[in-house]
Structures are given as C-alpha cells and as structure tokens.
Amino acid sequence: MKKIIELKRVVITGLGMVTSLGLDVPNSWNAMLAGESGIDLITQWGDLDELKDEFKLPEDLPMIAGEVKGFNIKDIIKQRKQGFSKDDLKQVKYMDSFTQFAHAAALEAIADSNVRLDDGEVNPDRVGVIIGSGLGGPQTWESEFKRFLRGKKVSPFLIPRLIPNLAAGNVSISFKAKGANACLATACASGAHAIGEAFQRVQLGKEDAIACGGTEASITLLTIAGFHALKALSSEYQTPQSASRPFDINRNGFVMAEGSGILILEELEHALGRGAKIYAEVIGFAMTGDASHITDPDIYGAIRCIKLALEDAEISPEEVDLINPHATSTPKGDINEAKAIKEVFGVEKDKPLITANKSQLGHSLGAVGGIEAISCVLSICNNKVPPILNLEQVDQECQGLNYVREQAKQARIDIALSNSFGFGGTNATLIFRKYS
C-alpha cells in the first residue's frame, strides 16, 4: 500500500544572527542597509607585524577579516535565555567559538519566535535542530595542538569543542529539542543545506519546527594560510573595507569572516495555532553536484540547481524579485555565477535585483547560507535591499544584471532566491516568498 503524504507549508517565525556588523539581527541588518563594512584588520591576534616577524609569515598573507566584535557568550546567555542557570554558563567550557556563535543566534531566534517547550504548548519531540558548519572548531585544533607540542596535557574538552555537530548538539540540549539533531558539513553550502533539509522535514510532517542555519569561526592563522595557499583570498587591497568586491573587475579573492545565522522554520498551521508572527514562507529548495572539480566551479551545476529550486517552488524565473548570490569576489566564481543567473533569468531586465552580502560581511563559509537567507527574508519583510559595496566597474563577463550598488534600494520584494556553492562542487538554492 502506497503512503500518500500531503506536503505542509513551511514558514519562518524566528531569526537570529551574529555577524561582523552586529551581535543580533537588528544591528546587523541596519548596518547592512546603511552600507557599512564589517571587514577590517584582524584584532584577535594582537600586533600583526610582530606576529609576522615571530613566525616568518609571508608578507602578502592577508591579515584582514570580517570579525565578530565585542562578543561574550555568557553575557548573551544571561540576557537572552529565559530562566538561565549556572549550569547554562558551565556549558560554555564545551564550546568553541563556532558553537558559541550558533548558540547566541539560536537564543535570539528562539526568543523571537517565542517557541516554548516547557509549557506544554509545543511538543519537544517534534522540534529539531539542524545547523551546518564547514570546518567546526579550527580554533580549538590549533590552540590545543600548540599545547600538546609544548608537552602540556590536552584539554578533555578538545573533542566536544571541535567536532562540527556540537553546535546543533548544544542548541538542542539548551532548547530541550528532541527531534532531528544534525549537522551538515558541505563547505560553504553547509548553512543553506541545513535550511533545505529542515524545510523538507517540516514539509513532510516529520517535525513541527526546526532551528536551522549555519555557523563558523574560521579566523585562524592556519586556516587563512591554507586558503591563501589556494590563492582564494584577497591579498591586494588599498584598505580592508575595499577588499571584498563581488562582480567588480578588480576583485581578487574573498575575505574570511565568521558568524552565524539561525532561522526557526515551522509548519504553517502549527505557527498559526500558537499565534506566532510570520516573517516569510520557504517555497523551494534544490541541491546539485558539479561532478567536475573540487575548487573550480562548473556553470551547469549552478544552472541546474537554480532551475530545480524554481521547479520545486512552482514559480517561473520572471516571478523572482531578488537574488542573493554566492558572490564570493573570486575571479572565476563570480563570472560563473553571473553567467548562470543570466542563463536562467535573462539579461538587461528590471528584475531580479542582485545584492551581495559578502561585500559587507566577508565570507563566513558554513555560516553564510544562514546569514544570507535571513537577509533575503528581511528584504521581503521590509522591501529594502542592501547594496553591493566596492562594485565600481562591473566585470565585462558579469554585465547584464541589475546590481544594487552604492546604497540600499527600496523595492517591492515578494520572492527572493539565495545561492550557496561549496568546495567539492556542492550547490544549494533556497527560495522564499512573502507570506499571505
């Protein structure tokens, strides 16, 4: 006997964000609309000149990033968690920074959604947590390895701090959510894939609500040296703020960043039943593989991913008002994505508008799918689109698209699409719609 499943509608009822421009959604979003940049010289390593001398680092090693500033997880737990106890603060010793960022963003999203698992209104068995991370805890790896080489004992918290699924695990424990508890590690598509997986699980009725998104804390000396060796990072720039320049003729690589973006996805009737506010609806998701090269993107993988997401959402390309592309500011990647967008949506059209959050925030790897999904949702809610910074001269091969440049744009946004592409040829596309 065949099992017939009626797909549920999935809406977004909570948002949480930690970025280089703010420790919450309002501050991050307002700074983005104001055209600010969160990219600057790295501060967490102390004197950068002394560091280069001590370790004989290459002179062209980029010492810039989109750092999260002024962050203290214990203060955030005290402010955001209802009924927090000393046990909540004790859990911090198990957390690498990537877990702390996810925890902070999740606390904001949970409070925003007003999902309560302790009053009988919501069944904890039907609430899940799916949070992606590309690297997990490289900060813990590096610091503990240095201790080990100096003959000191390795911390018993080494493994709990560094493994990628501990962001989801810690949020699940704190939230008392007993549904799906998972991590997707698909490089820079991790956060988007986590949202897509959550979307499909709620669609199928497996959970009533899921906290989902991505997190990353990858600003370490070895990680930056590794990406620099791949020639992936921007290393020629007049100021740190000018280094990330998606689609610009003078772009030369991405800028490392950190942070987290967490959304609460909820089945529509469940959300209405408890009187939740609704930001937007998730209507489409797709993921594809290039099957060509681990770092060199293939245009057909991106084209197929976008088309499959449109098919899943049951909409035409003409209905999309905004695209938040992956747009890392790498020479090949931006051309590849621009061509894919033109292939699907055409050229020289009034819409879709094109933004690029990495020009302001940097590239937070596994977190970026969550952060850019929130940006899409906020554009839908506010009918405003953040600008692409540093787009002074569009690369000839990227021309033909309607880029939002110089300042934020007021425009009616009913449907927004977000792309995330990762090493290994892994692709994700998410589509969001104004709720009605």
Residue where the block lists tokens 């772009």: 251
Inter-helix orientation angle 25-33/368-382, to 10°: 70
Contacts of 95 (CB under 8 A, 6+ apart): 73, 103, 161, 166, 170
Q: 61 exposed, middle or buried (CB, 10 Å; 0-12, 13-18, 19+)?
A: middle
- The closest of 270, 281, 263, 261 to 206, measured between CA atoms, is 270
Q: Tell whether the model's pLDDT for residue 110 goes beyond 90.
A: yes
Confidence band, pLDDT 50/70/90 cuts, at residue 30: very high
> Are 431 and 313 spatial neighbours (Cβ–Cβ below 8 Å)?
yes
Residue where the block lists tokens 């998701």: 285
Span 305-314, mean pLDDT? 98
Span 27-42, mean pLDDT? 98
Contacts of 24 (CB under 8 A, 6+ apart): 16, 17, 18, 108
Give the architecture (CATH level 2) of 10-280.
Answer: 3-Layer(aba) Sandwich (3.40)
Domains 10-280 and 284-433 share a fold: yes
Q: What is the pLDDT of residues 322-343, one digit of tens each?
A: 999 999 999 999 999 999 999 9
Span 125-148, mean pLDDT? 94
- Please state, in angstroms and as integers, the Cα–Cα distance from residue 309 to each residue in 46, 91, 305, 375, following that order: 45, 39, 6, 18
Confidence band, pLDDT 50/70/90 cuts, at residue 321: very high
Residue 65, both tokens: 């990033």
Catalytic pick from 103, 193, 228, 363?
363
- Range with the poorest average pLDDT among 9-23, 139-153, 405-419: 139-153
**Domain ranges, ordered by start, for the chain:** 10-280, 284-433
* Average pLDDT across the chain, whole number: 95
Alpha-carbon span 142 to 159, nearest angstrom: 13
Q: Cα-flanking dihedrals φ and ψ of residue 164, to 5°?
A: -60, -30
Question: pTM for this one?
Answer: 0.97
Confidence band, pLDDT 50/70/90 cuts, at residue 2: confident
Span 376-383, mean pLDDT? 98
Q: What is the pLDDT of residues 197-235, one digit of tens each?
A: 999 999 999 999 999 999 999 999 999 999 999 999 998
The pLDDT assigned to 296 comes to: 86
Residue 295, both tokens: 């770092």
Q: Which residue has the higher pLDDT, 238 or 429?
A: 429
Catalytic pick from 188, 212, 305, 398?
188
Alpha-carbon span 82 to 113, nearest angstrom: 13
> Are 243 and 234 spatial neighbours (Cβ–Cβ below 8 Å)?
yes
The pLDDT assigned to 4 comes to: 79
Q: What is the pLDDT of residues 69-107, one digit of tens each?
A: 999 999 999 999 877 778 888 889 989 999 999 999 999
Q: Tell whether the model's pLDDT for residue 414 goes beyond 90.
A: yes
Alpha-carbon span 66 to 19, nearest angstrom: 8
Contacts of 213 (CB under 8 A, 6+ apart): 16, 102, 105, 131, 132, 191, 194, 195, 260, 261, 262, 263, 367, 369, 370, 371, 373, 374
- Give catalytic status of residue 363 as yes or no: yes
Give the architecture (CATH level 2) of 284-433.
Answer: 3-Layer(aba) Sandwich (3.40)
Q: Tell whether the model's pLDDT for residue 1 goes beyond 70.
A: no
The pLDDT assigned to 82 comes to: 78
Alpha-carbon span 158 to 154, nearest angstrom: 7
- The closest of 35, 44, 74 to 257, measured between CA atoms, is 44
Residue 312, both tokens: 């899943």
Alpha-carbon span 315 to 430, nearest angstrom: 13
Catalytic pick from 103, 193, 228, 326?
326
The pLDDT assigned to 343 comes to: 97
- Give catalytic status of residue 103 as yes or no: no
Span 42-57, mean pLDDT? 90
The pLDDT assigned to 158 comes to: 93
> Are 325 and 421 spatial neighbours (Cβ–Cβ below 8 Å)?
no
Q: What percent of the chain has pLDDT over 90?
A: 87
The pLDDT assigned to 433 comes to: 98
Exposure string of 214-240, with b = 16+ CB inside 10 Å and e = fewer, is bbbbbbbbebbeebbeeebbbbebeeb
